[in-house]
Amino acid sequence: MSNKTVDARGLEPPQPFERAMEAIADLAPGSSFTLLIDRMPHPLLRMLDRDGYRHEANFRDDGAIEILIGRP
């Protein structure tokens, strides 16, 4: 299964959050997607923790943050 990428770099709030929420709504159990974003999305990460989603953030050399988000 391919991992979808949602590129939210350069967007003004709340667009990155909205794009992430749309991708989360489409996630099948056991699947994941990658979110590319300019800054750490703390409200999104709190929501993911609350709702039981997996997430792992990595800082890329180009300054972007790459977050792998998975549904259990």
Residue 58 lies in a domain: yes
Contact 36/64 with Cβ under 8 angstroms? Answer: yes
Residue 51 has pLDDT above 60, yes or no: yes
Residue 3 lies in a domain: no
Whole-angstrom distance, CA of residue 69 vs CA of residue 72: 10
Residue 6 lies in a domain: no
Residue 48 lies in a domain: yes
Residue 60 lies in a domain: yes
Q: How many domains does the chain have?
A: 1
pLDDT at 1: 47
Residue 31, both tokens? 């699947």
Residue 2 has pLDDT above 60, yes or no: no
Residue 8 lies in a domain: no
Where in the sequence is the domain holding 51, given as residue range(s)? 16-33+44-72
In terms of C-beta density within 10 A (0-12 exposed, 13-18 middle, 19 or more buried), how is residue 6 classed? middle
- pLDDT tens digits, 36-47: 999 999 999 999
Whole-angstrom distance, CA of residue 41 vs CA of residue 3: 20
Residue 9 lies in a domain: no
Residue 2 lies in a domain: no
Residue 31's pLDDT band (boundaries 50, 70, 90)?
very high
